Structures are given as C-alpha cells and as structure tokens.
Amino acid sequence: MGRRSRLNRDKRKGHAIWSQTQLLSLLKNPSQFTPEQRSRFALHLVKVSRRHRIRLPSEVREIVCRACNTLLHYGDNATIRIRNGYKIQTCLSCTAVRRFPYRNDSQKVNA
C-alpha cells in the first residue's frame, strides 16, 4: 500500500471519529432536539461507525437498538426488566431482545 493511500485512510478515519463524537454530543442533549431528530442522529452514528469500522461508544450501545437502529426511549418504545442478574432490554418497535449483565454494588465479589 502506498504512502498516499495510507494518509487518506488515516485522514478519513480521523474525520469519522470526529463525526462520531459530534453526533454523540448531539444525542446527549435531549432538551434541545425532538425525539425524531435524536433518532436520526442515532441512525447516522451507527451508519458512520459501521462504514468506517469504528466501535460504537459504550453509552450508545445500550440506547440504540441493534436490529432496527432506533433510539430507545424507555417507557415509549423499549422496556427493561431485571431478572436473574441480567438487564433484559426489549425494543417494542422490532421486538428485539438484548441481555446485559447486571450487578448491584452489594453483589460484587471482592477478590
């Protein structure tokens, strides 16, 4: 691979990371934007991350549905249940279910 293409790849990836941080900052302001706008921001964030093979930030992984890429509003289009040490998250628009490990501070094991 030549030097020029490597520089272009690094430049493109850097721009994608910048776009990802900008979209994340827009997602974190729920009072400024409508839910439709925030859903659009979430969709663009997922698309940029997939297109440039960049991992999604951890705070986005739990608020965006992996199946339909909608922004999850708990109570509106998503439910959460805690059962057997797992947080079970269900998207009501596509009925996708995700499970996350869940531990309280009292359940942590001191090693």
Give yes or no for a contact between 35 and 41, defined as CB atoms under 8 angstroms apart: no
Model pLDDT, residue 29: 87
pTM confidence score: 0.77
Structure tokens that stand for 20 in this block: 């990802």
Please name the amino acid found at residue 103.
R
Give yes or no for a contact between 91 and 70, defined as CB atoms under 8 angstroms apart: yes
Per-residue model confidence as pLDDT tens digits over 61-89 = 889 999 998 899 889 999 999 999 999 99
Distance CA 25, CA 32 (A): 11
Distances (CA, A) of 8 to 4, 12, 24, 71, 75: 6, 6, 24, 32, 44
